[in-house]
Amino acid sequence: MSKALRLLPEVKNTVVHPNEGQEYSKPLGKGDSVRIDFGRHLVGHLKLKLGYTDSHPDAPVWLKFSFAENLKEFDEDVENYNGWICSAWVQQEQVHVDVVPGDYELPRRYSFRYVKIDVLDISSKFNLVIEEACATALSSADESRLLPYSNSDKELVKIDRIACNTLHDCMQKVFEDGPKRDRRLWMGDLRLQALANYETYQMNDMVKGCLYLFAALPMENGQVGACVFLEPEPEVDDTVMFDYSLLFITALWDYYKHTNDREALEDLWDTVKTQISLGIKQVGEDNVVKDSDIIGWCFLDWSLELNKQAGAQGVLLYAMQSAIAIAKEVGKNREAECLFETYELYRKAARLKFYDENKGFFTSGADKQVSYASQVWMVLGNVIEPEMGLEVLHNVAAEKDAVEMVTPYIYHYYIEALLKCGAKDEALAVMKNYWGGMAELGADTFWELYNPKNPDESPYGGTIVNSYCHAWSCAPAYFLRRYYSEK
């Protein structure tokens, strides 16, 4: 644990002022409101210098603050929110300011670009004036270390910049999943953030520290938890996900490929073995992962109707490839051979169990559901060769009943699958359409969930708790720099 904490960075602060030309310093009475635009997304604290007009203040000022990453958040009322995510995450506060004039700083940290201030009540003898406003923006990312990205296509440069902004604001003491909501270290997000980090800020000790945190704080059976809290003391959450635990292995192998840090492989080898062992326990006698009613939560994507069996098999195969590589690197050759033999059994069983020869794509579960996620993970698990992989990806796109993708998380792996199949131009077109769609809608940072057919979709019962700066959406910074850079 102490080793992990020593590797984590210090969070730095930067003062950000609102966009010029805004008239937020007008006198405000009861029922008045004002909006302030800081010009970019940021994570941090709001500071105000408050003054007054007319008589000396003779009573407190009662204010309501609403913070928004996306302007649509101002159109929703928290009282009408009925979703299953706690409404305490909604970034609204009511405060009483007892002394005016003076400086006031809201104590909580917020994730926002816009602030709306409503005067709920004030004495009739004076009006409130916001003389100055600024924000203290927080991030551990060092902009001076950000590697440049060059491309004659200005749309790609814009998408890359937004992706970097997303990663930057999610880099706090750890790689947070979303600075608005959750604010903690999730394994699935970490894997994608780390990939983007290697191509941008290169704060690799931070990646290592996060991997060590997961290894130091396992569940009772040794399984890597889905997420870790940092405060008040580091502690693993009680949430486990079949796929997230296995992706620890892939994230570690990614880290090694970018750093050659053999110490990390040796320190974390036992954690790798445990994740593979636990994953294998969820495989039936037919060499296929049991369905989600048996294995528990396997995420893959935010879709309540998505059957996860084929996808879970693919994730296990994907992780086993990395585990085999790690075993060879640390000199565990016999274990690598055994793992490979098991991997081959599972790979062949996946083809036999899930592939529909007549339709030319994979199905999942007892109802033989068709989804993008199943095809993506079968391709990444090497169940089929790349040429055939591209065929199944095209076939599922033509299937009108296929369960579609709704988050940047699964879109990351979809692009990875396309690239694995050699479809570089097609992968770029998907990136432009998907992440470019968010950019066209005015995104400063990329979102937790974006369905082009329904931009207002939410898995939580209301978009007021959606995260509009989310770690798993920073993928373009990785893909564009690695595969589409003009140097």
Query: What is each CA distance from 134 to 27, 39, 115, 483, in whole angstroms?
Result: 18, 12, 11, 39
Residue 12 has a pLDDT of: 97
Predicted local distance difference test score (pLDDT) of residue 293: 74
Give yes or no for residue 273 having a pLDDT over 80.
yes
For 236, the 3-state DSSP assignment is strand
Enumerate the domain spans of the chain.
15-139, 148-483
d(CA 469, CA 73) in angstroms, rounded, equals 13
> Measuring CA to CA, how many Å separate 18 from each of 41, 105, 355, 412?
11, 16, 55, 33
Q: What is the pLDDT of residues 464-483, one digit of tens each?
A: 999 999 999 999 999 999 99
- Structure confidence by residue, pLDDT tens digits, 410-469: 999 999 999 999 999 999 999 999 999 999 999 999 999 999 999 888 889 888 999 999
Strands 361-362 and 355-356, bridge-based pairing: antiparallel
pLDDT of res. 199: 98
Token pair, residue 400, equals 């009108």
Write phi, then psi, for 143 (nearest 5 degrees). Answer: -60, -25
Q: Among 15-19, 352-356, 458-462, where is mean pLDDT lowest? A: 458-462
pLDDT at 296: 84
Residue 304 has pLDDT above 90, yes or no: no
- Structurally, what CATH architecture does the domain formed by 148-483 represent? Alpha/alpha barrel (1.50)
Query: Does 21 have pLDDT greater than 90?
Result: no
Residue 459 preceded by cis peptide, ω within 30: no
- The end-to-end CA distance of the chain, in Å, is 41
Among residues 200, 377, 223, 218, the alpha carbon closest in space to that of 306 is found at: 377
How confident is the model at residue 462, as a pLDDT? 86
Is 15-139 in CATH node 2.60.120?
yes
The 3-state secondary structure of the chain reads: CHHHHHHCCCCEEEEECCCCCCCCCCCECCCCEEEEEEEEEEEEEEEEEEEEEECCCCCCEEEEEEEECCHHHHHCCHHHCCCCCCHHHCCEEEEEECCCCEEEECCCCEEEEEEEEEEEECCCCEEEEEEEEEEEEEECCCHHHCCCCCCCCHHHHHHHHHHHHHHHHHECCCECCCCCCCCCEEHHHHHHHHHHHHHCCCCHHHHHHHHHHHHHCCCCCCCCCCEEECCCCCEECCCCCHHHHHHHHHHHHHHHHHHCCHHHHHHHHHHHHHHHHHHHCCECCCCCECCHHHHCCCCCCCCCCCCCHHHHHHHHHHHHHHHHHHHHHCCCHHHHHHHHHHHHHHHHHHHHHHEECCCCEECECCCCECEHHHHHHHHHCCCCCHHHHHHHHHHHHCCCCCECCCCHHHHHHHHHHHHHCCCHHHHHHHHHHHHHHHHHCCCCCCCCCCCCCCCCCCCCCCHHHCCCCCHHHCHHHHHHHHHCCCC
Averaged pLDDT, 353-358 = 97
Q: Evaluate if residue 292 carries a pLDDT over 80.
A: no
Q: What integer best gives the mean pLDDT of the chain?
A: 96
- Rounded Cα gap, residues 181 and 65, in angstroms: 17
pLDDT tens string 232-255: 999 999 999 999 999 999 999 999
Mean pLDDT, residues 52-59: 97
Q: Is the pLDDT of residue 178 over 90?
A: yes
Structure tokens at 201: 């800020």
Q: What is the mean pLDDT of residues 37-43?
A: 98
Average pLDDT over residues 320-346: 98
Residue 77: its pLDDT value, please? 84
Tokens representing 120? Answer: 């709920």
Residue with tokens 């796929």: 243
Residue 78 is predicted with a pLDDT of 86
